[in-house]
Structure 1
């Protein structure tokens, strides 16, 4: 009851000041996002720049593109969709390799048409890639992609950087939860009337 009284008092205050009595934009418009996507991507891009500058892996993608890749991956987009977001659908293979290097795995990455242990044993046997691919019944290029997945899964070189990126993403998720919580209150504890959009009802 106290909250309802407070809301009525605030609405009456707006009416007295502006002559407008109806708020037509949700509180998300007023509060804004506590941490927008661009800010998150810029922070991730700084980490990506460190990774690239230290030579941990090479890619034609720029730091900000890698940051957008991470954001799009967590948004549920596939490699082709991510490449399209980056401006060129032909980058899908480049996106896939960078994604795997960043340990952003998909279930499909590990669905190999042969026994994984057998592949690893053959790769350690001293045989050439062509010989191993023939034994497994796949093309050398396909074998290289699967080998890349296993190598990156086991490589811990950039794990400290990936933990930092994970922290940024978790902070973003927390921020979004806080924003959603804030929008549940139709007026909130305080409203900036210069940002609230009103309509005349007179």
Structure 2
């Protein structure tokens, strides 16, 4: 050892309280695109339970049926189609969607919800003013209320549904691509014309 190396060694041992080596234990971990070990259904049920606790929304639907409503919504099904698959009416599906902050673009696509929200007139007066049914005004107000409730929660629950149902096909596809890329790299340059 030359003088400089010996000097560096002395500095090192004084800094490390006299230990000659410094090691950190390592842990074998496997990478994953999915950090949460629960299934998608379990995670959806957890989100729905949180919403029940926070908002206390009343519904006769079970958690499984609410999950089916959310999945149908993300699959692009109409309320009627979701209702048929579960065996309930479309209005119950609509109520469940709003309770879970799952608002579709066509729920109030022809109406300015800010205007409806700000009006103090009755549903009948607004229906007459805008030339629509009273039931439509009532529906638009419910959509506006659900949007307000979602915004008050910073769209947290909607974002959780988006990440679980909106991107699930993307994460599955990414996991498949990673596996395929790994196999491709491992077999690159190997002779594959083998006869048995």
TM-score interval for Structure 1 and Structure 2 normalised by the shorter chain: 0.5 to 0.7
* Greater RCO structure (CA 8 Å; 6+ sep): 1
CA distance in 1, matches of 2:112, 2:167: 39
Q: Which residue does 1:111 correspond to in 2?
A: 109
Residue pair 2:100, 2:157 contacting (<8 A) in 1 also: no
Q: Which residue does 1:7 correspond to in 2?
A: none
CA shift, 1:147, in A, is 0.9
Q: Which residue does 2:133 correspond to in 1?
A: 139
Residue pair 1:79, 1:92 contacting (<8 A) in 2 also: yes
Q: Which residue does 2:53 correspond to in 1?
A: 53
Segments of structure 2 that go 5 or more residues without pairing to the other structure are: 1-33, 187-196
Q: Which residue does 1:152 correspond to in 2?
A: 146
Q: Which residue does 2:157 correspond to in 1?
A: 161
Segments of structure 1 that go 5 or more residues without pairing to the other structure are: 1-33, 191-202
Residue pair 2:98, 2:146 contacting (<8 A) in 1 also: yes
Q: Residues 53, 103 of structure 1: CA spacing in aligned structure 2 closer, same or farther, 3 A cutoff?
A: closer
Q: Residues 129, 116 of structure 1: CA spacing in aligned structure 2 closer, same or farther, 3 A cutoff?
A: same
Q: Residues 115, 53 of structure 1: CA spacing in aligned structure 2 closer, same or farther, 3 A cutoff?
A: closer
Residue pair 1:82, 1:95 contacting (<8 A) in 2 also: yes
Q: Residues 117, 178 of structure 1: CA spacing in aligned structure 2 closer, same or farther, 3 A cutoff?
A: closer
Residue pair 2:113, 2:144 contacting (<8 A) in 1 also: no
Q: Which residue does 2:18 correspond to in 1?
A: none
Alignment of 1:61-76 (within 5 A): 61-76=61-76
- Please say which of residues 144-153 and 134-143 is displaced more in the overlay: 134-143
Q: Which residue does 1:84 correspond to in 2?
A: 84
TM (norm. structure 1) is 0.58
CA distance in 2, matches of 1:128, 1:171: 41
Residue pair 2:124, 2:134 contacting (<8 A) in 1 also: yes
